[in-house]
Amino acid sequence: MSVLSLLIFFPLVCSLAIALLPDQYKAYYKWITLLVTGVELLGSVWLYGQFDTQEPGYQFLEKFDWITLPLGSLGVGSIDYLLGIDGISMPMVLLTGLVMFIGAIASFEIKQKEKGYFALYLLLTASVIGCFVALDMFLFYLFFEFMLLPMYFLIGIWGGPRKEYASIKFFIYTLVGSLFILMVMIGLYLSAIDPVETAIQMNLISEGSQVTPAVISSVQHALNDGSIPSEQLVHTFDLRFLTDTHNFIPDSWLSIYSNVSLGNISIRGLAFLLLLIGFGIKLPVVPVHTWLPDAHVEAPTPVSVVLAGILLKIGGYGLLRIAYPVFPDAAATNAFLVASFGVLSIIYGAYNALAMNDLKKMIAYSSVSHMGFVLLGIASLTSEGINGAVYQMYSHGILSSMLFVLVGVLYSRTHDRRIDSYHGLAHVMPRYTVMITIAFFASLGLPALSGFIGEFFTLVGGFNSVFFPKWITAIAVFGLVLGAAYFLWTLQRIFFGKYWSRYDESLLSDLDLRENLMLVPLAILAIVHGIFPHLLFDISHRSVEELLKTFV
């Protein structure tokens, strides 16, 4: 089995193993989970080490015919088990390995229904990895949908007092978004073909290994001329082919030559907007963000770590993997709209974070604000902006995981997250104060820390963009001021000055070994990636350049 398949199926099999283990072995559930996520982390680090930074295409490809179904006059239906990574997905795979491992350590605090929790946690691990390595849109959608199940139960069973409300709200929002994605997916499937499999049906070649650029070109010319019998057309979900407009049937709805429109919006423009909403809910983008604060507040600490560190990134990744390369014309046309929603998220999220007294809710709204920079960078359609967006997703994954672990540390001691319940904690929790100071300053964009790099390049990309006016990006800069305000204000109120707390000082012990094992590596990574941004940019820039070629 290849590495990418191993990253998916190893946690899946171990999830089943935990579910089947008798209850007398429940002490081993957490250790099995830690071992599995450790292997996932090592596998992702190995992929990073083996990744060819000069190759713009997909690497570590795995392809097997999964479903082939003759459809008569509609042609042939084809769905492949297709995996691979490029410079956009590699950072997300690496981030997934790291965050799921940190979340597994944080999960040691789970003391009830351990079998169900750890089985679902590993199921979630497999689903998330699958999203980032799937290159067949149907396969991507399966993993995307499958994540709903473990997350719904992880919040709904192990969450706080309003866990049922938060889990249902998360489920419904994400399900509605996925239905929009499903509609576009079906439209793409009916509109595009697999030129390799179609060449086989046309008897131009006998197997896929014989394909050449000349064969692909002849199939595309025949498709454009309408000379291929409909029963020989092989429809596909392969994202490598969906990004080439020459593989679209000329008279299909989603062809670039289609004249079908809904009012003043072309059908391709509408499909792009549906994907924007679907992935925007996951990102999340204001105004479809309201599920996130509720989910974070009610979720247990490890689930908040995974939710902020990984799951939000699937929204930005989906835009870069599907929406933008498949509909570059609509993406360019709607750049102003996308950038506007990005800036709205930056400012609205920051203002709400400034108003919060609940520390966890403040960090949740800061995530909305920081994901706004991702959307702005993507909308810019510049190399700086998109590279910055990928960097921002990776950096935010590290920093948000660190922040939610830190909130969980305080909550585990007093079961109180209110900012006004503490003052001068630096006197009794000095190591904790150092860690949260690093996380806060990195999150507000202090130079030499990772948060600065992502925000800086998304803003540079915004100012360099020719698709929307510079005043849009200028407003986003104000979000940095607001970010500094709510982080520094919180730091001042909780940690500095004369010590005071609603709770006995004996409860407020400093970081223990397990907590240091989670926080110290994250703090080191925040510093390392702030000083050496090439560690990520060397991975992403070739694939970003390849993506931008579709907009020329």
pLDDT at 1 over 60: no
Q: Is-cis flag, bond preceding 287, omega within 30?
A: yes
State the pLDDT confidence band at 257, using cuts at 50, 70 and 90.
confident
The 3-class secondary structure across 344-383, one letter per residue, is HHHHHHHHHHHHCCEHHHHHHHHHHHHHHHHHHHHHHCCH
- State pLDDT tens for residues 334-345: 999 999 999 999
Residue 179 CB: number of other CB atoms within 10 A?
Answer: 12
Question: Is the pLDDT higher at 69 or at 489?
Answer: 489
- State pLDDT tens for residues 490-546: 999 999 999 999 998 889 999 999 999 999 999 999 999 999 999 999 999 999 999
Domain ranges of the chain: 336-552
- State pLDDT tens for residues 459-486: 999 999 999 999 999 999 999 999 999 9
* Predicted pLDDT of residue 101: 98
* Predicted pLDDT of residue 552: 66
Compute the distance between CA of residue 346 and CA of residue 483 in angstroms, rounded to an integer: 9
State the pLDDT confidence band at 258, using cuts at 50, 70 and 90.
confident
* Predicted pLDDT of residue 378: 97
How does DSSP classify residue 310? I
The structure tokens 């993997």 sit at 321
Decide: helix, strand or coil at residue 501.
Answer: strand
* Predicted pLDDT of residue 214: 92
Closest CA to 417 of 298, 291, 284, 308: 298
Q: Please return the burial class of 512, using the count of CB atoms within 10 Å of its CB with bins 0-12, 13-18 and 19+.
A: exposed
Compute the distance between CA of residue 391 and CA of residue 374 in angstroms, rounded to an integer: 9
* Predicted pLDDT of residue 90: 97
Range 6-17 average pLDDT: 96
* Predicted pLDDT of residue 263: 78
Compute the distance between CA of residue 185 and CA of residue 192 in angstroms, rounded to an integer: 11
The structure tokens 């809910």 sit at 281
- State pLDDT tens for residues 132-174: 999 999 999 999 999 999 999 999 999 999 999 999 999 999 9
- State pLDDT tens for residues 398-441: 999 999 999 999 999 999 999 999 999 999 999 999 999 999 99
